[in-house]
Amino acid sequence: MKTVYAFIQHQRNSLAVDFPLNIHDMPDHLGSIGIRLPASKVTVDNTENVSVRLTGLSEVGKAIVDKVASSDSLEDINALCQAIERTCLYGYDDMAERLAACDAGCARELMAVVEQFTQAQQSQTMGECQC
């Protein structure tokens, strides 16, 4: 499920991408508008050369956009969206609530919330085993 929409402008060129996306495609996407930096170096913070505008496409996406820091990179946001997609196989409601309620202030802290959620799910699943 696509969770975050990013509109990126560089000089007079623009790019629209939905996260999560294959990280191997990111250099080609950024390169198509003249950005030669890796996604890990392109931050949400608007600079004189690059402008990034994020929009949440779901409740999870809105929670992410509300809590990311200007220093978070496109790679950070994409990795977070990928982790959520892997974790939430049966729906995103619980994750949306957890992200919205947490006091995280950057993608790294949001990733910690996702990891805690993942561990809780795994523990619950292992506890249900009727071997």
Percent of the chain beyond pLDDT 90? 77
Give dist(CA 114, CA 119) in Å, integer: 9
CB-based burial of residue 103 (10 Å sphere; 0-12 exposed, 13-18 middle, 19+ buried)?
exposed
DSSP type of residue 21:
-
User: Residue 131: its pLDDT value, please?
Assistant: 37
DSSP type of residue 34:
T
Q: Nearest Cα to 41, choosing from 6, 81, 73? A: 73
DSSP type of residue 54:
E
Given a cut of 80, is residue 69 above it in pLDDT? yes
In the chain, what are the domain boundaries?
4-126
Q: Which residues pair with 14 in a beta bridge?
A: 9
Mind listing the pLDDT tens digit for each residue in 1-25?
Answer: 899 999 999 999 999 999 999 989 9
Mind listing the pLDDT tens digit for each residue in 75-89?
Answer: 999 999 999 999 887
